[in-house]
Amino acid sequence: MDKQEPPDPLFDALRGEMAKLNAPRGVEKELMQAFARQLPPRRWYQKLAPGWALQRWALAGGLSTAVTALTVFSLMLHNPRLAVDPDARSRALVTRDGGGLFIALESPERIEQEPAPRVVETEVSRSSLAPLGVPLTPENAGDTVKAEMLLGADGQPLAVRLTSID
Amino acid sequence: MNTTSATTPDADLLRAMRNGAADAFSALYRRHQGPLYRFALLRCGSEATAADVVQEAFMGLLTERFRFDPLRGELAAFLFGVARNLILKLEEGRQRHVALPVLGVAQEDDDDAELDLPLDEGGPLARLLDNEAAEQVRRALAHLAPHYRDVVILYEMHELSYAEIADICQVDIGTVRSRLSRGRAALAKRLAGWRTAPHLAQA
């Protein structure tokens, strides 16, 4: 270990004075504007990428198993391709965001690397989700749940977002 | 989940920043802007230039023009290195375009740690600090040759280790030690008369 000399007391006054100084506020403002240009807010499916996914997965906690089953089932109803994919259920990654529900059907890495994702809006009838525990009353029996499906360039479903599920 | 608490490691904030978390970038900036600005201000003597250096350093971090590798050290030391390089580049540009004035006393005696050359417009001789004692030390510091000034500022003001300073200044530890010693001696010499003056007791 290299022995270091003690700080010179000659600098005490300067240390005290300099400690009060900071960069002008305008610098932070300009940097944050540059940040917004450089890294615009991410779309919901981008937030399922590594890092985000792990944190949100932890938050999802005990809800995840039931919601996964619900979602895979509902997707099967509307997407026959998933029904023949036995791995879809185990791959699904479910997270909550406010009243919405995000379900990754492919790995976060696969979603992140998709060069040309597109989002297709659709609706799922609430009654079709009732067997899986979605509350169903006479008043909402005819309702539908809005969904946004993220598709890869080849049409493969990558993720889905259910809104107004509550 | 709050990803930007005061104890969140820089590496985690950087990762979140690259994933688009503006609050992580803001937290990194607020954590490091002060020391970086103070280093640049003492190093170049101009508030405007120091602010530019801070802005460019963080902009480089954002755009990855300056790529930080957490395996190679701390972010703070990396940013000091970036700031120092930016200032050196500014000084090189200035020396290319501005004819140096002939100085009455270019070098004092045998001590080449001294440099009687204001480096910035309004530069080190313009008053920056209210406290007289602090201002005198700052002015004396501004008269050190830049390679001595770097080491003295980083050691005395930022409490970095010899090894960290060596890495930032891209010299070996022995050079850091000798520059610090010579820099301190030059400062003591310049301030000797002032320190014994009666007004010091009142500062």
Report d(CA B164, CA A33) in Å as an integer.
32
Are A31 and B55 in contact (CB < 8 Å)? yes
| Residue A147 pLDDT | 77
Picking from A106, A117, A115, the residue whose alpha carbon sits closest to that of residue A48 is: A106
What's residue A94's pLDDT?
61
Long-range contacts from B166-171, C-beta under 8 angstroms, 24+ separation: B167/B73, B167/B77, B167/B81, B168/B77, B168/B80, B168/B81, B168/B84, B169/B84, B170/B81
Which tens digit of pLDDT belongs to each residue from A111-121?
877 777 888 77
Judged against a pLDDT cut of 90, whether residue B176 lies above it is answered with yes
| pLDDT for B50 | 96
pLDDT at B129 over 80: no
Q: Given CB atoms, is A29 within the 8 Å cutoff of chain B? A: no
Which residues in chain B are contacts of A23 at CB distance < 8 A? 33-34, 36-37, 50-51, 54-55
Which residue reads 């006479």 in tokens?
Answer: A138
> With an 8 Å Cβ cutoff, is A28 touching chain B?
yes
CB contact under 8 A, B37 and A4: no
| Strand locations in chain B (E) | none
Pick the most confident of B7-11, B33-37, B91-95: B33-37
Is residue B54 within 8 Å of A27, Cβ to Cβ? yes
Q: Considering only CB atoms, which chain A residues are within 8 Å of B203?
A: 13
| Residue B31 sits at the chain A interface (C-beta within 8 Å) | no
Higher-confidence position of A7 and B1 = A7
DSSP for residue B72: G
pLDDT tens digits for range B130-141: 788 889 999 999
Tell me which residues of chain A have a pLDDT lower than 70. 1-2, 41-101, 128-134, 164-166
Q: How far is B104 from chain A (nearest CA, A)?
A: 28
Percent of chain B predicted with pLDDT > 70: 77
Other residues' Cβ atoms within 10 Å of the Cβ of residue B102: 6
The C-alpha atoms of residue B96 and residue B89 are separated, in whole angstroms, by: 11
What stretch of H or E contains B169?
Answer: helix B162-169
In a 3-state reduction of DSSP, which class is residue B123?
Answer: coil
CA atoms of B29 and A50, how far apart (whole Å): 24
pLDDT of the residue at A165: 66
How would you label B36-46 residue by residue, b for 16+ Cβ within 10 Å and e otherwise? bbbbbbbbbbb
Q: Cβ B37–A23 below 8 Å, yes or no? A: yes
The answer to whether A2 contacts B1, with C-beta atoms less than 8 Å apart, is no
Residue B97 or residue A141, greater confidence? A141
Residue of A nearest to B192 (CA): A10
Which chain A residues are closer than 8 Å to B15 by Cβ? 51
Predicted confidence at residue B89, as pLDDT, reads 92
**SS3 readout for B150-163:** HHHHHHHHCCCCHH
pLDDT of residue B198: 54
Per-residue pLDDT at B51? 96
A57: nearest CA in chain B?
Answer: B1
- Higher-confidence residue: B64 or B82? B82
In angstroms, the Cα distances linking A9 to A112, B4, B21 are 54, 35, 42
In this prediction the ipTM stands at 0.78
What pLDDT score does B102 carry? 45
User: What local confidence, expressed as pLDDT, does residue A58 receive?
Assistant: 40
Interatomic CA distance for residues B139 and A113, integer angstroms? 55
How close does chain A come to B102, measured CA to CA in Å?
31
Task: Inspect the interface and report whether the beta carbons of A2 and B161 lie closer than 8 Å.
Answer: yes
What confidence score (pLDDT) does residue B108 get?
A: 39
pLDDT of residue B126: 62
- Euclidean distance between CA atoms A161 and B150, whole angstroms: 54
Angle at B71 between CA B66 and CA B73, to 5 degrees: 70
Calpha distance B119→B98 (Å, rounded): 11
| B38 confidence band (pLDDT: 50, 70, 90) | very high
User: pLDDT tens-digit profile of B100-119?
Assistant: 554 444 343 444 566 544 44
For every residue of A55-121, DSSP letters joined together read: HHHHHHTTHHHHHHHHHHHHHHHH-HHHHT-TTHHHH-EEEEETTEEEEESS-HHHHHH-SS-EEEE
Inter-residue contact A105 to A92 (CB < 8 Å): yes
User: B-chain residues within 8 Å CB-CB of A52?
Assistant: 19
pLDDT for the residue numbered A81: 46
